[in-house]
Structure 1
Amino acid sequence: MMKSLRPALTMLVALTIITGLLYPLAMTGLAQAIFPRQANGSLIERNGVVVGSALIGQNFTSPRYFHGRPSATTGPDPADPSKSVPQPYNAANSMGSNLGPTNPALIDRVRTDAAALKAENPNVPVPIDLVTTTASGLDPDISPEAAMFQAPRVAAARGLPAQQVAALVAAHTEGRLFGLIGEPHVNVLALNLALDGTAAN
């Protein structure tokens, strides 16, 4: 019996060391050497202070800032930990709403959000990504159309020329990867930081 058991135990220990220790260490080392910024969370700094990640959205609500996509993430209720309450962009609880297209709660929420946005910019169709959530609830990007839709509000709230804000959006629009993969997008946090820098100057 030991004759059969010894090779099995040897393989178990060897594969545990290789796949559980050596491989992860090698991949971590390569990532730190080749892509250190991405391996450390794609953090964004301002004046030496980390203000967020390029990979995780933030809940901007002031009219002076561009807003991201709605987020359906939740977290424990501070008053009653057994219950959940909305906590937009809660990175510890990535999730979608799981509401189907015929769910009345989803329909009411989208209708309310669309009406508020339409009042903000009545002459332009509301971009769909400003009223729909993603599966993760953490999307840091919006479409260039969604950013341009918000530009008049941001310009008015900050007292900046509309053309200047529109130019800022255009400067922060990233194209498709290799010209083929994905869609053009704007990172909301990076755009808002640039907006603060423009206002300060």
Structure 2
Amino acid sequence: MLNQLRPALVLLVALTAITGLAYPLAVTGLAGAIFPGKAAGSPVERDGRIVGSALIGQSFTGEGSFHGRPSATTAADPADASKTVPSPYNASNSAGSNLGPTSAALAERVKGDLDALKAERPGVPVPVDLVTASGSGLDPDISPEAALFQVPRVAKARNLPEDRVRALVTSRIEGRTLGLIGEPRVNVLALNLALDEIARR
């Protein structure tokens, strides 16, 4: 029996060492050497300190900031660990809401967001990504239409001409990757940092 068990144990230890240690360390080291910024999580720096990541959205709620997509991520309820509470852009709990099209809670949340956005811009169609969460709940980007929809509110709150804010949004539009993959998008963190840069001048 030991003769049959020994090869299995040796194979288990060898494969664990190769696939569980050597390969991940080699790939991580190679990625860190070739793409140091991306391997470190694409951090965004401002004035010598990290203010976020280009890959993970943040919750912006002020009138003078562009808002990202709704986020369905949650965290443990501090009052009752068996329950969860909304925690937008919680990177440790990346997930969608699991609410389907027949969910009354989802319909109510979307209707509330839609009504608020319609009140903000009466008569203007609301871009769908401003009322729907992404599958990860961490999407850092919005569509150019969603960013342009918010221009009047942001311009008014920051006391800036709408044309200037609109031009800033247009300058921050990223095209499809390699001209084929994905959709045009605007990184919300980068856009808000660019707005802050205008205010500092």
> TM-score w.r.t. structure 2 length?
0.95
Q: 1:79 to 1:4 in 2, by over 3 A?
A: closer
Q: 1:123 to 1:199 in 2, by over 3 A?
A: farther
Q: 1:18 to 1:100 in 2, by over 3 A?
A: same
Q: For residues 93 and 3 of structure 1, what CA distance do their matches in structure 2 show?
A: 45
**Unpaired stretches in structure 2, ≥5 consecutive residues:** none
Runs of 4+ more than 4 Å apart = none
Match of residue 72 from structure 1: 72
SS in 1 for 2:133: coil
| Partner amino acid, structure 2, of 1:117 | L
Q: For residues 152 and 200 of structure 1, what CA distance do their matches in structure 2 show?
A: 20
SS in 1 for 2:117: helix
Q: 1:183 to 1:8 in 2, by over 3 A?
A: same
Alpha-carbon displacement from aligned partner over 1:71-94 (angstroms, at most 9, x marks no partner): 111112223333211111111111
| Partner amino acid, structure 1, of 2:125 | P
Match of residue 56 from structure 2: 56
Match of residue 20 from structure 2: 20
| Partner amino acid, structure 2, of 1:188 | V
**Unpaired stretches in structure 1, ≥5 consecutive residues:** none
SS in 1 for 2:82: strand
Match of residue 190 from structure 1: 190
Alpha-carbon displacement from aligned partner over 1:15-72 (angstroms, at most 9, x marks no partner): 2221122111110111001111111111111101111111111111100000000011
Q: 1:82 to 1:3 in 2, by over 3 A?
A: closer
Match of residue 156 from structure 1: 156
Q: For residues 83 and 17 of structure 1, what CA distance do their matches in structure 2 show?
A: 38
| Partner amino acid, structure 1, of 2:120 | E
Identical positions, percent: 69
What is the CA-CA distance between 1:7 and the residue it aligns to?
3.1
Q: For residues 23 and 137 of structure 2, what CA distance do their matches in structure 1 show?
A: 31
What is the CA-CA distance between 1:185 and the residue it aligns to?
0.5
Kindly report which structure 2 residues correspond to 1:1-201, keeping only aligned pairs within 5 A, or say none: 1-201=1-201
Corresponding residue pairs, total: 201
Alpha-carbon displacement from aligned partner over 1:122-143 (angstroms, at most 9, x marks no partner): 1320000000011111111100
Alpha-carbon displacement from aligned partner over 1:125-162 (angstroms, at most 9, x marks no partner): 00000000111111111000000000111001101011
> TM-score w.r.t. structure 1 length?
0.95
RMSD, aligned CA: 1.3
